[in-house]
Amino acid sequence: MTERIRRMLGCVALVLACVMIASAMSHTLNTADAETTAEQVVTVVHTSPFTQAVADVRDSVVGVSNYQTVTYGGYGYGFGYGYGYGYGNRQQTPESREELAATGSGVVIGEGFVLTNFHVVEDASTLKITVTDDAGETTEYAATLVTYDEVLDAAILYAPDCKLPPVALGDSDALLVGDWAICIGNPLGFAKTTTVGVVSALNRAIESETYDKYGRRATISNAMIQVDAAINSGNSGGGMFSVTGELMGIPTLKYSGSYYSGTSIEGIGMCIPINAVKPMIDDVLSGRIKAIPPETSASAGDDDSVNLTGRPRLGVNIADVNTSTRAARLGQIPDGVFVTAIEAGSPAEKGGMQVGDIIVEVNGVIITSATQLQNEIAGYNTGDVLDIKVYRAPGILDISGSEDAPDGDYVDLQVTLAIVDEVIDQPI
C-alpha cells in the first residue's frame, strides 16, 4: 500500500470519527433541550403568583347580613274584587318583623372582629356574620357593631363565636401603580369569589356628600385606591390583598356607567386604603373601644330610670337634639345631646365643657340620646377620666327652629368624674 493511499484512508477515518462525535453531541443537546422544555411547560402550567396568597386568606373573608325591622299594617286602604269593585278605609294591627335588607362582605382582622364597610351595616337592627365552607355549607354568627366611621365608610363588628384566623395588615402607602390587586368577597351571594387586577391609580380623590358618624351632613373627599379587578354588588367590605396575602384595602364602590351619557363603564373600582382604617382597628384591638357581645347588646341602654344622684357625674343639664328643627333636618348639626346648663365647679366645667355643646361621643361610644348618655356615665366610677367629643358652634342655642345653624367644630375634652350632690333635671 502506497503512502498516498495510507494518508487518504487516515483522512476518511478522521472524518467518520468527527461525524460520530457530532451526532452524539447533537443527540445529547436535543435530549437536554427536550428535558428543559418539558420542565418549563410544567412550571408554566402549575405556578400562579396568586395561588398561595388566595389560599392563605380566602377563609378569613366572610359574609355580612344586615337585617332591618320593617312594620306592616296600620291605617290604610283595603281593596276587594267580586262582581263589583269596592274599597273602604280600614284599620289594621301593625306587624313588625325583621327582614334581610342588605348583604356584603367582611374580613377577619382579630379574634372575633370583622372589618367591613359602614354602608353594609347601616340602619341594621340585627347583624350576622356568614361563613361558607368549600362544600357550600353556611354557618351564621350573631354580631354587634363595635365602631364605625361613616366618612371613611368603614365599620368593625364583633362576633365572638366566629373563630376564623385574622389576616395580616399590609402597608397601603407602599403600593405602586401596576402592583397586583387580589379582591375577594361575596358578589351576588357567590361566597369567596376571587378576582384579580392591578392597581390602576393611587390617591384618587373621590368626593361625596354624606353624614359623618355623628349625624352631621358634610361633603368629604377620600383618597382611594383604583383597581381594575372585577368588583360587583356584595363585594363591598371584602378584601383587596397583595400577592403576599396582606390586606391592602377594602373594596367599597364601582363605577358602572354614566347617568347622563348612558356610557357603560368597566374596570373602575375603588378601595379604601387599609392605612386609613388602622387607627380605628388599633382602638378596637387594643381595647380602647369596648366590644359588647351580641347576647348583652340588646339590653344596653334600655333603662330609662337611671338616677345618678349621689354617684359620680359630669355636673351638667342635658336635652336631646330636637330633630324637627331646620338645623337637624338638614344635617347642619350632629345627633347627640345638648348641654343646656353646667354646674359651677363641676367636672364638666373643669374639663372645658360649655353651654351649647352637643355631646356626640364618650370613650369611643357614639351618643345619640340623653338616656344613652346617662347609661354610659353610670358605668364609670369616681376618678375615671372620660374622653368626650363635643360639637361646638357659638350661638347655636339662640337660633329658632326655622333658622340655619352656625358653623362649628368638633372639640375633644377630658373630664374626670366626681360626685356632684346638687340635684338638677336630667342630671349626669
Check whether 368 has a pLDDT greater than 50: yes
18, 61, 17: which is closest to 240 by C-alpha? 61
Residue 291: what pLDDT?
84
- Domain residue spans of the chain: 1-47, 48-300, 303-419
Q: Counting beta carbons within 10 angstroms of the beta carbon of residue 93, is it exposed (0 to 12), middle (13 to 18) or buried (19 or more)?
A: exposed
Residue 372: what pLDDT?
86
C-alpha cell at 181: 390587586
Which of 30-44, 88-102, 245-259, 312-326 is predicted least confidently?
A: 30-44
Decide which of 257 and 320 is more confident.
320
pLDDT digit string, tens, across residues 284-295: 999 888 888 887
Q: Which position has the grid cell 366572610?
A: 62
Residue 420: what pLDDT?
74
Residue 196: what pLDDT?
93
Q: What DSSP designation does 427 have?
A: B
pLDDT digit string, tens, across residues 214-261: 777 766 667 889 999 888 888 899 999 999 999 999 998 776 654 444
Top mean pLDDT of 38-52, 77-91, 403-417 is at 403-417
Residue 15: what pLDDT?
47
97, 30, 37: which is closest to 67 by C-alpha? 97
Q: Which CATH number fits domain 303-419: 2.30.40.10, 1.10.1040.10, 6.10.140.120, 2.30.42.10?
A: 2.30.42.10
Decide which of 209 and 49 is more confident.
49
pLDDT digit string, tens, across residues 152-195: 889 999 999 999 999 999 999 999 999 999 999 988 888 889 99
Is the distance from CB of 367 to CB of 361 less than 8 angstroms?
yes
Instruction: Work out the average pLDDT over 120-124.
Output: 88
How many residues in the chain?
A: 428
Residue 303: what pLDDT?
42
pLDDT digit string, tens, across residues 36-58: 555 555 555 556 889 899 999 99
Q: How far apart are CA 191 and CA 185, in angstroms?
A: 7
Check whether 14 has a pLDDT greater than 60: no
Q: What DSSP designation does 82 have?
A: S
Q: How far apart are CA 88 and CA 76, in angstroms?
A: 9
Backbone angles phi, psi at 108, to 5 degrees: -75, 125
Q: How many CA atoms lie within 13 A of 299 on its CB side?
A: 3
Q: Counting beta carbons within 10 angstroms of the beta carbon of residue 407, is it exposed (0 to 12), middle (13 to 18) or buried (19 or more)?
A: exposed
Which strand (E) or helix (H) includes residue 69?
A: strand 61-72
Q: What are the residue numbers of the active site?
A: 119, 153, 236
Is the distance from CB of 257 to CB of 267 less than 8 angstroms?
no
Residue 299: what pLDDT?
40
Fold entry, domain 48-300: Thrombin, subunit H (2.40.10)
Residue 60: what pLDDT?
94
Q: How far apart are CA 360 and CA 376, in angstroms?
A: 12
Check whether 423 has a pLDDT greater than 80: no
Is the distance from CB of 368 to CB of 424 less than 8 angstroms?
no
Residue 418: what pLDDT?
87
Residue 26: what pLDDT?
52
Residue 330: what pLDDT?
85
pLDDT digit string, tens, across residues 186-203: 888 888 899 999 999 998
Residue 55: what pLDDT?
92
Decide which of 426 and 130 is more confident.
130
Q: What is the pTM of this model?
A: 0.60
Residue 260: what pLDDT?
47
